[in-house]
Amino acid sequence: MGVGDVSKRILLGRKLRSAQLGETLLPKRIALPVFASDALSSVAYAPDEIFIMLAIAGASQYIWSWKIGIAVAIVMTAVIMSYRQTVHAYPSGGGDYEVATVNLGRTAGITVASALLVDYVLTVAVSISSGANYASAAIPAFQDHEALIAVILVLVLMAMNLRGIRESGTFFAIPTYLFMFAILGMCAYGLLQALGGSLPQAESAGLDITPRPGWEEPLSTFGLIVLLARAFSSGCAALTGVEAISNGVPAFKRPKSKNAATTLLLLGLIAVTMMISVIVLAKQIGLRYVDPHELSRLTMNGAPVPAGYDQHAVIAQIAEAVFHNFSPGFYFVVTVTGIILVLAANTAFNGFPVLGSILAKDGLAPRALGARGDRLAYSNGIVFLALMAIILIVAFDAETTKLIQLYIVGVFVSFNLSQLGMIRHWTRALETERDSAVRRKIYRSRTINAIGLSFTAVVLVVVLLTKFLAGAWITVLAMGFFFAVMKGIKGHYDNVERELAADETDKALPTRVHAIVLVSKLHKPTLRALAFAKATRPNSLEGVYVSVDEKETARLLEEWDDRNTGIPLKVLHSPYREVVKPIVEYATAIRRANPRGVVAVYIPEYVVGRWWEQFLHNQTALRLKGRLLFTPGVMVTSVPYQLRSSGIALEREEREEHRVRPGDLRRGRVAQDRDRQVPRS
Amino acid sequence: MGVGDVSKRILLGRKLRSAQLGETLLPKRIALPVFASDALSSVAYAPDEIFIMLAIAGASQYIWSWKIGIAVAIVMTAVIMSYRQTVHAYPSGGGDYEVATVNLGRTAGITVASALLVDYVLTVAVSISSGANYASAAIPAFQDHEALIAVILVLVLMAMNLRGIRESGTFFAIPTYLFMFAILGMCAYGLLQALGGSLPQAESAGLDITPRPGWEEPLSTFGLIVLLARAFSSGCAALTGVEAISNGVPAFKRPKSKNAATTLLLLGLIAVTMMISVIVLAKQIGLRYVDPHELSRLTMNGAPVPAGYDQHAVIAQIAEAVFHNFSPGFYFVVTVTGIILVLAANTAFNGFPVLGSILAKDGLAPRALGARGDRLAYSNGIVFLALMAIILIVAFDAETTKLIQLYIVGVFVSFNLSQLGMIRHWTRALETERDSAVRRKIYRSRTINAIGLSFTAVVLVVVLLTKFLAGAWITVLAMGFFFAVMKGIKGHYDNVERELAADETDKALPTRVHAIVLVSKLHKPTLRALAFAKATRPNSLEGVYVSVDEKETARLLEEWDDRNTGIPLKVLHSPYREVVKPIVEYATAIRRANPRGVVAVYIPEYVVGRWWEQFLHNQTALRLKGRLLFTPGVMVTSVPYQLRSSGIALEREEREEHRVRPGDLRRGRVAQDRDRQVPRS
């Protein structure tokens, strides 16, 4: 059964007054920036975390920095290779959630979903906090107000997403490519200077770092292992966001999976290059970087740094050194870094509704999230995300270092379950596959995913061990909460489904239709409702009027007789001006007298357009409808009468329908041009 | 046409599970306290205002205090006599608003209505502020926090009224009679002491009052007139609230008008006695009382009173003096005065919805306010009233003296229009009345109202002259605002009525009914909707399914064929998961193909009970219904399917319906006993 001829005609044959939703697939050069901002932006804070952790035992441990960078790069490579398998095996864009659900079952799927939900909140909190720190590096007046700036940024993002941004590839492409150019250019220029021996020193190069108590040299072997494990697990923040492409395969140009896999490889390459370059360069310029809460451990010639000392982010310090005699270079790097961080936060605002709609489809979230264009559902999700991020930002005073402790757990929980799911996927594929060439390919994929799993499993254990008490417990708790909520919703939907399941005894057809038309006045809406009700030829039809005033009643009865509609009018007396109750009771009584019949209640409604007009009309009709829904054997029919002003609301509705919603671009949907004339078929 | 036999059976023949609304008429002894608290409570602040105004020219002007009291008493007597005419002529409880509208036209009616609306806000602000001052007289810790206490009291009143208080006559009777007993008892005891020469002096008796600059003795004749005019207009605050009974005639026991008139007379007698007694006694104890902002004008032996001096309200000072060796007497008087003031504020919370429903009936306020039991409308009104009062209290720092400047204008505007209306009423009555005995009575009534008008007109002019710049302009502005809003609403309703007015060409009966049943799944609700739709025997009937997923669609089609319902299923494809748009477009297309037909859209709905279940169901149905209302020639039928949990909501609804709402008692309605078994007919 295809699209009906009638509906086809309207779909094609009318002038589009407003933008129409269509599919626009992304070429690789656009897809890369659309999906990469989150992953690439982590270079703005991940190296900082490695240096902070190593600094616990003093600046001498910075010799480990590039080795840890390499270790993180190896894990990232393994993860990227694994996800390349995923995009081939699951091109539908369900990502980790789909992989886990299909291969490991509902519980694993819900676990991944709750990890992802928590991650979206943390992506906003971490990226925006880091962005606020870059802003304060560029604009001294912002110093010590990072939390306030971060909150304002979140509110601006929220407002933009509520309002709806006309997203386009360019919107993502320009800042992302500028960021790549800025970071890679800076690193190249810096490394060239280093080779020429002319690389300037960082502003913090002259400082010494006092180790934390208990971490003085010489470190025990165990101490060193703990130190490196902590630095490594913090550095793994660089991996956040790489899974984005696996959720966006449907938005790629064909061949979708192949293009997505290539883009993923490209992303990995760029991310690893950036990270290693930044770490090496930071070491070269003699950077000294400690936990911003422990600035007193920074000393200059044995004395602590002055109280006003402000420690700038690693990339800001590199830019300052590399471009020490060319300040536009510094401002350019810091500005695009700030922008890319905000863009990364925006991806969470985009991804959240997409995940919501997938969860809704599976009955884990309110069903309304599943259909496109539910304004309320979208808005609630966006406000929820922003509020949670603001709470975190305020609670942790916009300190990236502290928020990072919460961040990585969720990411690696979903990495692990996803890799495990992929291994199961390939093992199952082997059960049926007989072609030896294909089997070889499957073995290869399974090996890649197994390597990915072993790496991510190790990282998850390290992260849990080193970060649980430092904040990861909050994440675990939040995941538990989301898990319980989704389980609860699923349970509710399942119960309802069982209660609603059709059975064979449920076919009894009502024998009689008793129609009543609510009459408040004898005006066009009432006459229309009477006409419509009459057209349905019910077994019995009467008007029903609730009388609260004798004079008015008499006048109405007279008018009714004059009209001579041939329909009897029933008057229900209501001395206390109650309108709803007499009607409900009357309908109930009719039904009781005819248990095999059905009562059809027709309610004339005016449709108005301006928002304040809503308060002036239909309130009683609304309450009545709400109340009649509880009455068995009753159906309620709204007969609308469109007032002239209703055109205003209709136009508003249509504008709303065609608006691009957060995440549409990532699903390969964009609004097409306005006022485009589509040829009539 | 009476109550239908079917509806009569349900009204009488079932066990009442919850309280049922009924009529309970008030005997005079209960009606007096129910309606009098507002009028009587003004004795708690009106005398204070007289003393403050006279003090402008120094304590020597206190010789005028009792004469001004007498003048106020004369005006009050005239007003009370006038209202006795009103309750006879207009026993329906419309009060000033009805009198002005019927006799002077719509504009006068709206003017009175806006005056009354402003007065309700000010009743709350003034009574509660005064109450907070009494609280701080009794509890020293409250001193200087009057505004905060007043705001908290308003919020408590708001919460109580939102929640719904089980009002009863006793609720009003006990505090009101205690208040009468306290004030009259105190005055009698004090005057006895005075006669015996043993009356103690007030705490402020030893003080001197420096006149305001320019008001030093000797006063010019013009100066004296201005002084007395100001004192008199402030003293007229004692008249606020006397109109309450004229709004409550329907709640009285029969003969309603006669009982109401008697109660009114009683109220006037008590109020006048109280006021004069308090003024005389205050003079006797040597009270010195100035504007609380000008405490520096109070001097003791030539030096200003110390900075911490707290000036207690007149009744508090009298109680302190009269009961100087019996402190329980003092606390009793002050406590019941505070309570009666809060009770007076509560009458505004009661009267506001009553006025709202009368205005709604006339199309001056949203119609929803007119029907009993519109929870939302009631709540909005109560919250609005509380917020406005809080704004005033905060803006004027809970200072009764300043708020009084705003208060009296509105009261006297409605007094004037009401008296003018009554004169017109009697004049008209004379035109038709031939019986000379009745004519004599009418002449007498008209004379009384004319006297009332002349007094209230003079007071209004005095009030406007003396108070306009001191704050009355705010009231005039607010009245203008309410006036404009009501005019606007009326205009809107009139426009809609014209647009909706039935004409003769509007009778064309649709010839065909094309029914479509929305199918999302094949479960009981869908089957019921199909059965109901089938029972209406439309000209054509089909199921409509929006396909967003091919697999699901195939499964549904298979199930549909298995069921063999005999109804065709139309599948609308929606690649972007839009549900609403394809259906709206399909309905539009059907209608376009059959301009003389009507499209009946049947939507299966589940009815759930718990509040959070609402979010999980029917959201799409709701949006769809909202959208289809804009489509001409379409009617929308909700076919409800009650889930087991819906019982919870039904019970909640029923509880809600039977709750007593603010103002019910004043309209003669109370909830009758729960679980009362009504005999089956």
Q: B650-657 long-range contacts, Cβ below 8 Å, gap at least 24? A: B650/A630, B650/B609, B652/B609, B653/A627, B653/A630, B654/B17, B654/B18, B655/B18, B656/B373, B656/B375, B657/A578, B657/A580, B657/A581, B657/B18, B657/B373
Q: Mutate which of A564, A629, A636 to test chain B, going by most B C-beta atoms within 10 A?
A: A629
Which candidate from A367, A573, A590 shows the least CB-CB separation from B616?
A367
Q: Mutate which of B506, B552, B610, B630 to test chain A, going by most A C-beta atoms within 10 A?
A: B630
Pairing label, strands A512-519, A303-304: unpaired
Which candidate from A10, A512, A630 shows the least CB-CB separation from B642?
A630
* Residues B378-405, mean pLDDT to the nearest whole number: 88
* Cα distances (Å, whole numbers) of residue A271 to A69, A194, A220, A238: 11, 22, 33, 8
Q: How far is it, in rounded angstroms, from Cα B158 to Cα B160?
A: 5
Neighbours of A17 (CB within 10 A): 12
Residues of A in contact with B366 (CB under 8 A): 615-616, 619
For residue A118, give both structure tokens. 């928590």
Q: How far is it, in rounded angstroms, from Cα A524 to Cα A391?
A: 53
Yes or no, beta carbons of A638 and B636 under 8 Å apart: yes
Q: How far is it, in rounded angstroms, from Cα B24 to Cα B34?
A: 13
Q: Is A613 on the interface with B (CB under 8 A)?
A: yes
Q: Distance (Å) from the C-alpha of residue A248 to the closest C-alpha of chain B? A: 15
| Mean per-residue pLDDT over chain B, rounded | 84
Yes or no, beta carbons of A536 and B531 under 8 Å apart: no
Which ipTM was obtained for this model?
0.73
Determine the pLDDT at residue A279.
94
Determine the pLDDT at residue B376.
62
Q: How far is it, in rounded angstroms, from Cα B121 to Cα B117?
A: 7
Determine the pLDDT at residue B176.
92
Q: Mutate which of A514, A584, A616 to test chain B, going by most B C-beta atoms within 10 A?
A: A616
Task: Kindly indicate the confidence band of residue B477, based on its pLDDT and cuts at 50, 70 and 90.
Answer: very high
Residue B76, exposed/middle/buried by CB under 10 A (0-12, 13-18, 19+)?
A: buried
Residue type, B658: H
Instruction: Report DSSP letters for B356-391, one per residue.
Output: HHHHHHTTSS-GGGGSTT-HHHHHHHHHHHHHHHHH
Query: Is-contact B309 B298, C-beta < 8 A?
Result: yes
Length of chain B equals: 681
For residue B239, give both structure tokens. 């008249």
Which candidate from A524, A635, A669 shows the least CB-CB separation from B638?
A635
B614 has a pLDDT exceeding 80: no
Q: Is B98 on the interface with A (CB under 8 A)?
A: no
Q: Is A560 on the interface with B (CB under 8 A)?
A: no
Residue carrying structure tokens 């009689």:
A512
Yes or no, beta carbons of B367 and A619 under 8 Å apart: yes
Q: Is B535 on the interface with A (CB under 8 A)?
A: yes
Preceding peptide of B218 cis, ω within 30°: yes
Question: What's the per-residue H, E or C state across B553-596?
Answer: HHHHHHHHHHHCCCCCEEEEECCCCCCHHHHHHHHHHHHHHCCC
Q: How far is it, in rounded angstroms, from Cα A346 to Cα A175?
A: 13
Yes or no, beta carbons of A374 and B572 under 8 Å apart: no
Q: Distance (Å) from the C-alpha of residue B234 to the closest C-alpha of chain A? A: 39
Q: For residues B380-390, b (16+ Cβ closer than 10 Å) or e, as one string?
A: bbbeebbebbb
Residues of B in contact with A556 (CB under 8 A): none
Instruction: Please give the DSSP secondary-structure letter assigned to residue A364.
Output: S
Find residue B619's DSSP bridge partners. Answer: none
Yes or no, beta carbons of A636 and B637 under 8 Å apart: yes
Determine the pLDDT at residue B371.
66
Residues of B in contact with A372 (CB under 8 A): 576-578
A511 → chain B, closest CA residue: B535
A647 → chain B, closest CA residue: B630
Q: Is A376 on the interface with B (CB under 8 A)?
A: yes
Q: Is B577 on the interface with A (CB under 8 A)?
A: yes
Yes or no, beta carbons of A607 and B630 under 8 Å apart: yes
Tens of pLDDT, residues A390-424: 999 999 988 888 898 888 898 899 999 999 999 99
Determine the pLDDT at residue A496.
86
Q: Is A92 on the interface with B (CB under 8 A)?
A: no
Residues of B in contact with A658 (CB under 8 A): none
* Region of residue A537 (phi > 0: left; psi between -120 and 50: alpha; otherwise: beta): left
Task: Kindly indicate the confidence band of residue B108, based on its pLDDT and cuts at 50, 70 and 90.
Answer: very high
Q: What are phi and psi of B19, to 5 degrees?
A: -60, 145
**Residue ranges of chain A whose pLDDT lies below 70:** 1-24, 164-168, 371-377, 504-508, 656-681
CA B245 to chain centre: 14
Task: Kindly indicate the confidence band of residue B660, based on its pLDDT and cuts at 50, 70 and 90.
Answer: low
Strand ranges (DSSP E) for B272-372?
Answer: 298-300, 303-304
* Residues B34-57, mean pLDDT to the nearest whole number: 90
> Closest Cα to residue A413, out of A104, A42, A73, A88?
A104
More confident call, A437 vs B668 = A437
Element counts in chain A: helices (H) and strands (E): 23, 10
Determine the pLDDT at residue B17.
33
Q: Is A373 on the interface with B (CB under 8 A)?
A: yes
Q: Is B70 on the interface with A (CB under 8 A)?
A: no
Residues 250-269 of A with CB under 8 A from B: none
Q: Distance (Å) from the C-alpha of residue A389 to the closest C-alpha of chain B? A: 23
Determine the pLDDT at residue B669.
60
Residues of A in contact with B646 (CB under 8 A): 630
Residues of A in contact with B580 (CB under 8 A): 371, 373, 657
Yes or no, beta carbons of A538 and B534 under 8 Å apart: no
> Closest Cα to residue A516, out of B590, B625, B7?
B7
> Closest Cα to residue B392, out of B137, B147, B144, B130?
B147
Q: Is A623 on the interface with B (CB under 8 A)?
A: yes
* Cα distances (Å, whole numbers) of residue A542 to A267, A513, A516, A599: 71, 12, 5, 11
Instruction: Report DSSP letters for A462-497, one per residue.
Output: HHHHHHIIIIIHHHHHHHHHHHHHHHHHHHHHHHHH
Yes or no, beta carbons of B372 and A489 under 8 Å apart: no
Query: Is-contact B604 A506, C-beta < 8 A?
Result: no
Query: Is-contact B162 B383, C-beta < 8 A?
Result: yes
Residue carrying structure tokens 């609301």:
A649
Determine the pLDDT at residue B125.
94
Q: How far is it, in rounded angstroms, from Cα A261 to Cα A249?
A: 9
Determine the pLDDT at residue B656.
66
Residues of B in contact with A572 (CB under 8 A): 3-4, 7
| CB contact set of A419 (below 8 Å; sequence gap of 6+) | A82, A449, A450, A452, A453, A456
SS3 (DSSP) at A304: strand
Which candidate from B370, B513, B607 shows the least CB-CB separation from A535?
B513
Q: What are phi and psi of B26, to 5 degrees?
A: -95, 130
| CB contact set of A504 (below 8 Å; sequence gap of 6+) | none
| CB contact set of A660 (below 8 Å; sequence gap of 6+) | A19, A164, A165, A166, A167, A669, A670, A671
Task: Kindly indicate the confidence band of residue B675, based on its pLDDT and cuts at 50, 70 and 90.
Answer: very low
* Residues B142-148, mean pLDDT to the nearest whole number: 85
* Cα distances (Å, whole numbers) of residue A464 to A450, A672, B350: 21, 47, 61
Q: Is A399 on the interface with B (CB under 8 A)?
A: no
For residue B233, give both structure tokens. 């207009």
Query: Is-contact B158 B175, C-beta < 8 A?
Result: no
Residues of chain A with pLDDT > 90, as a percent, come to: 37
Yes or no, beta carbons of B532 and A635 under 8 Å apart: yes
* Residues B584-588, mean pLDDT to the nearest whole number: 91
Q: Is B557 on the interface with A (CB under 8 A)?
A: yes
Q: How far is it, in rounded angstroms, from Cα B376 to Cα A508?
A: 39
More confident call, A221 vs B168 = A221
Query: Is-contact B46 B235, C-beta < 8 A?
Result: yes
Determine the pLDDT at residue B373.
56
Which candidate from A576, A590, A644 shows the least CB-CB separation from B669?
A576
Q: How far is it, in rounded angstroms, from Cα B333 to Cα B362?
A: 43
Instruction: Please give the DSSP secondary-structure letter assigned to residue B521.
Output: S
* Residues B170-183, mean pLDDT to the nearest whole number: 90
Q: Give the helix/strand (H/E) hosting A168.
A: none
Determine the pLDDT at residue B319.
92
Residues 631-650 of B with CB under 8 A from A: 631-632, 634-644, 646, 649-650
SS3 (DSSP) at A394: helix
Find residue A600's DSSP bridge partners. Answer: A515, A635
Preceding peptide of B640 cis, ω within 30°: no
Query: Is-contact A523 B496, C-beta < 8 A?
Result: no
Find residue B208's DSSP bridge partners. Answer: B299
Determine the pLDDT at residue B486.
93
> Closest Cα to residue A601, out of A554, A536, A552?
A536
More confident call, B197 vs B307 = B197
Yes or no, beta carbons of B9 and A589 under 8 Å apart: yes
C-alpha torsion angle, residues A17, A19, A22, A28 (rounded to 10): 150
Q: How far is it, in rounded angstroms, from Cα A109 to Cα A105?
A: 6
